[in-house]
Amino acid sequence: MTNPSLLILAGDGIGPEVMAEVRKIIDWYGARRGVTFDVSEDLVGGCAYDKHGTPLHDDTMAKAQDVDAVLLGAVGGPKYDNLDFSVKPERGLLRLRKEMDLYANLRPAQCFDALADFSSLKKDVVAGLDIMIVRELTSGVYFGEPRGIFKEGNERVGINTQRYTESEIERVARSAFELARKRGNKLCSMEKANVMESGVLWREVVQRIGDTEYPDVELSHMYADAGAMQLTRWPKQFDVIVTDNLFGDLLSDLAAMLTGSLGMLPSASLGAPMANGRPKALYEPVHGSAPDIAGQGKANPIACVLSFAMALRYSFDMGTEADRLEKAVEEVLADGLRTADLMGPEGGAHVTTSQMGDAIVAALNASL
């Protein structure tokens, strides 16, 4: 039996730092649990542009298509702000998502008990929060045509097109319904059907899928702006939320801050099943490259660590090991260990990026 394969694309900024802590955990699974991965590494984003003149080399894209899962750190930085739009670091990530056809982006927002006081919202509002946002990832306004900056008369106009087909809505809706069945059997779909035709179609298709294929799942609909308000008013009213690319981008970042820090939030981007039955998949922390703290040991590796836990669960069918890793993170936080982004009025023991990774490995050892 061959080992599961994993391509690591650490990227830019703090990406290599947080990924180094994940490598410790991968090595731990091989040494202590007999779970060995065939790991390869390559470049994406600004570092790929520096070497190849493109944010994602064709050879790297081919590797991503061939492995069981891709684990990505972060891309971008001010060094690349003046590049042509077509070769900006973020285009590498968008190409991975598009060409791997990773249409369902799972973004959990979970508030660990140890961090309930760290959120800007009241403790009773966020304590115990555990929601999942399913964001459509390969269509919508980020990919629709026509797009660009054009001249109209004496001025320029910027154009982006919001576009969805029924089949694109159907497949992400099914992913969300299936996830809801495994959780609280409740799904809320968010769009802007009151002002956008794409939103009207979105609502109609999601409702049809719910009525015909998932009548056991409690389905509700909400305008996305009202959803943003409700997420900050009482987020625990939701379990699974499904929404389009643009609104999913905004709502998941909002939900991330309910937990206290972007440094805590992982994500999984899933596509159609491969020949081995596993979905094509890319896992990455929600946070960016944070170039202002890169190389200083200040970065929080937990989002990247939890992204690997999602890979264990969704790509490698290792739910028990995913639980083990998530529990180790929870215990480290309960012990009061805090990277710079988690240092608040309640205090805690300040640790570096590397020290946080070492503490998680120690908690994994203690779990045996």
pLDDT tens string 236-285: 999 999 999 999 999 988 888 788 777 788 999 999 888 777 889 999 99
Q: What is the CATH number of the domain that holds 301?
A: 3.40.718.10
Residues 219 and 273 in one domain: no
- What pLDDT is attached to residue 257? 77
**Within a domain: 115:** no
- Give me the helices (H) in 67-142, please: 89-99, 123-126
Quote the domain boundaries for residue 27: 1-102+265-368
Residues 143 and 244 in one domain: yes
Residue pair 246/162 in contact by the 8 Å Cβ criterion: yes
**Within a domain: 107:** no
**Per 3-state DSSP, what percentage of the chain is helix, strand, and coil (rounded to 5)?**
45, 25, 30
Q: Which of 27, 117, 130, 253 is catalytic?
A: 253
Residue pair 268/314 in contact by the 8 Å Cβ criterion: yes
Q: Which of 27, 101, 130, 225 is catalytic?
A: 225
Residue 27 designated active-site: no
Residue 253 designated active-site: yes
Torsion of CA 47, 51, 52, 53, to 10 degrees: 70
Residue 142 designated active-site: yes
- What pLDDT is attached to residue 111? 87
The closest alpha carbon to 249, from 220, 269, 221, belongs to: 269
**Within a domain: 113:** no
**Within a domain: 16:** yes
Residues 84 and 134 in one domain: no
- What pLDDT is attached to residue 345? 60
- Of 258, 274, 298, the last residue of a domain is 258
Residues 288 and 175 in one domain: no
Residues 250 and 135 in one domain: yes
Q: What is the pLDDT of residues 67-119, one digit of tens each?
A: 999 999 999 999 999 999 899 999 999 999 989 999 999 999 988 888 887 77
- What pLDDT is attached to residue 2? 84
Residues 205 and 279 in one domain: no
- What pLDDT is attached to residue 341? 87
**Within a domain: 172:** yes
- What pLDDT is attached to residue 64? 97
Residues 315 and 212 in one domain: no
Residues 366 and 270 in one domain: yes
**Within a domain: 124:** no
Q: Which of 12, 42, 68, 249 is catalytic?
A: 249
| Residue type at 56 in one-letter notation | L
Q: How many angstroms separate the CA atoms of 47 and 85, rounded?
A: 16
Q: How many angstroms separate the CA atoms of 79 and 208, rounded?
A: 47
Residues 338 and 280 in one domain: yes
Could you give the number of structural domains in the chain? Answer: 2
- What pLDDT is attached to residue 274? 80
| Residue type at 218 in one-letter notation | E
**Within a domain: 40:** yes
**Within a domain: 117:** no
- Of 203, 232, 258, the last residue of a domain is 258
Residues 359 and 249 in one domain: no
170-190 exposure pattern, b = at least 16 Cβ within 10 A, e = fewer: ebbbbbbbebbeeeeebbbbb
- What pLDDT is attached to residue 113? 84
Q: Which of 29, 49, 142, 283 is catalytic?
A: 142
- Of 258, 277, 293, the last residue of a domain is 258
Structure tokens at 45: 């984003």
- What pLDDT is attached to residue 225? 97
Residues 235 and 292 in one domain: no
Residues 173 and 272 in one domain: no
Residue 314 designated active-site: no
Q: How many angstroms separate the CA atoms of 63 and 57, rounded?
A: 10
Rg (CA), the chain: 20
Residue 214 designated active-site: no
pLDDT values of the chain reduced to their tens digit, one per residue, 368 residues:
689 999 999 999 999 999 999 999 999 999 999 999 999 999 999 999 999 999 999 999 999 999 999 999 999 999 999 999 899 999 999 999 989 999 999 999 988 888 887 777 888 888 889 999 999 999 999 999 999 999 999 999 999 999 999 999 999 999 999 999 999 999 999 999 999 999 999 999 999 999 999 999 999 999 999 999 999 999 999 999 999 999 999 998 888 878 877 778 899 999 988 877 788 999 999 889 999 999 999 999 999 999 999 999 999 999 999 999 999 999 999 999 999 888 766 667 899 999 999 999 999 999 99
Q: How many angstroms separate the CA atoms of 157 and 60, rounded?
A: 35
